[in-house]
Amino acid sequence: METEIPLAIEDEPPSITTTLQRTPRPSRKSLGSSAWDDWRWQFRNRLRSVDDLLRAFPNLPATAQVREAAEIFPLAITPYYASLIRELSPEDPVFRMAIPSVEELHNPGFLRDDPLEEDHDMPVPGLVHRYSDRALLLVTLACAMYCRHCTRKRVAGSRESTISDRNLSRAVAYLREHPEIHDVVISGGDPLTLSTKALERVISAVRSVPSVDIIRIGTRTPVTLPMRITPELVDMLRQYHPIWINTHFNHPNELTPAAIRACGMLVDAGIPLGNQSVLLRGVNDEPSVMEQLCRGLVRARVRPYYLFQCDLVRGVEHLRTPISRGIEIMEYLRGRLSGLAIPMYVVDAPGGGGKIPVLPTYIVSTSPTHTVLRNFEGMLVSYPEPEGYMPQQCRSGRGADGATVWDLAAGRQGRIVPQRMARHDRRDQREDITFTGLD
Ligand code: SF4
């Protein structure tokens, strides 16, 4: 196993308690402290237990229940992110995303440890091949913070291990054998918890595969550990373009000056930034909060990319909202915000069904001559269709995963019975992997 970062809490402060009590929210003064600005110090001094929490927040409520939940799902919060808590209550969005809750133990039967069935689509340990042209490479199980709503709660933080040389080589070999994969998402855990050198080892290995066009990195460090975005990191990343980064802001309170600065450094290095939010009850399920978040993101030069419906994962039932609430929020955003600031609302379908975009219904009726549409104000308009239009036949053929709904729409296929797809073959060929770690 290669563990990149020493994980013990430092003996010597600056004391977390003092820092947090003096600095309930980040201030220029606290961010000016050299230790506070050092991402390794922040990482080593994460609050990892209820006792750590109590040292930082002596008035923390319901500690016995917090302890109960923390025994099941790992706890870690950087001092920086803890300092964004404004109120010691689940009413506070940052508190809600960071502090364990006994509600995590309420698990109706339809929840799963791995609702997206990533483990089933894993041909080699750590590499998920779900869509024909994309792959997901999980390179670490460590995060700066363990979000209470995490989809990978089954593994994130269970063991803070990083991908071994052997498994990285196997993943790269698989990418070479599958030139249809053009886009690799490096994720985890959080890949930016690796040292810059260790991360470069992964990125350069992926970049060495000629058929890989785009490397994307999924990271929440601009939100939970913005000091991780250092000039050294940015200089390394810009050598491997095209690199894209998706981050994960969920609430406007996370858009601090430090976070905005971190995003700016990445964008200045030519790295396009997208944001993937999760719709969370009591955090961002108010349309006006989502509007504020999206406006703040574009101001910070981050494109709101996805708004995810919360996955059916064990431990997050109390954070889920009905899909109808998401549609209502999308209805509210359209017309108020420029299209650039509106994310795509998606349900990542249980059972490994992939991302399904969900929209309010804008087509009211359709005939061969006219389509009736409505706008966000409720205005109805008739759009006359062009006369005598015949579609050009697309000659590009079918995708690697066989016929899709697009083939039905184009009249090339009468029906689809999705009993057997390419991913099922991949599942059959994969080794019997139980994904518990990367070493
Ligand atoms: S940073 Fe991402 S992977 Fe880590 S706990 Fe949060 S949501 Fe999960």
| φ/ψ (deg, to 5) at 138 | -90, 115
Nearest alpha carbon, ligand 1 atom 3: 189
Atom of ligand 1 nearest to the CA of 157: 5
Low-confidence ranges of the chain (pLDDT < 70): 1-33, 393-401, 417-420, 434, 439
Structural domains in the chain, sorted by start: 16-105 (no CATH), 119-360 (3.20.20.70), 362-387 (no CATH)
Pocket around ligand 1: residues whose beta carbon is below 6 Å from it?
A: 143, 146-147, 150, 152, 156, 188-190, 220
Joined tokens for residue 1: 């196993």
263 catalytic residue (yes or no): no
- Nearest protein Cα to ligand 1, atom 7: 150
Q: Which of 81, 96, 121, 143 is catalytic?
A: 143
Which DSSP symbol is given to 3? -
In this prediction, residue 25 carries a pLDDT of 44
Q: How far apart are CA 70 and CA 30, in angstroms?
A: 28
Q: What is the helix (H) or strand (E) element at residue 218, kind and residue range? A: strand 214-218
432 is catalytic: no
Q: Find the catalytic residue in 119, 153, 311, 345.
A: 311
As beta bridge partners, residue 112 has: 313
The CA 330 to ligand 1 mean position distance, Å, reads 24
Contact 345, 327 (CB under 8 A): yes
Residue 345 has φ and ψ, to the nearest 5°, of -85, 125
Residue 425, SS3 per DSSP: helix
Mutate to test the pocket of ligand 1, among 104, 152, 219, 311 (most ligand atoms within 8 A of CB): 152
pLDDT for res 401: 62
What does the pLDDT read at residue 406?
81
CA 9 – CA 29 distance, rounded (Å): 23
Say how far apart CA 18 and CA 47 lie, in whole Å: 14
* Residue among 80, 131, 305, 306 flagged as catalytic: 131
At 113-161, the pLDDT tens digits run: 888 888 888 999 999 998 889 999 999 999 999 999 999 988 888 888 8
Residue nearest to atom 5 of ligand 1 (CA): 146
Catalytic residue among 150, 263, 294, 310: 150
Can 131 be counted among the known catalytic residues?
yes
Indicate which residue's Cα is closest to atom 6 of ligand 1.
147
In this predicted structure, what is the pLDDT of residue 220?
98
Q: In ligand 1, which atom is closest to the CA atom of 143?
A: 4
Measured at the CA of 84, the angle between CA 80 and CA 88, to 5 degrees, comes to 120
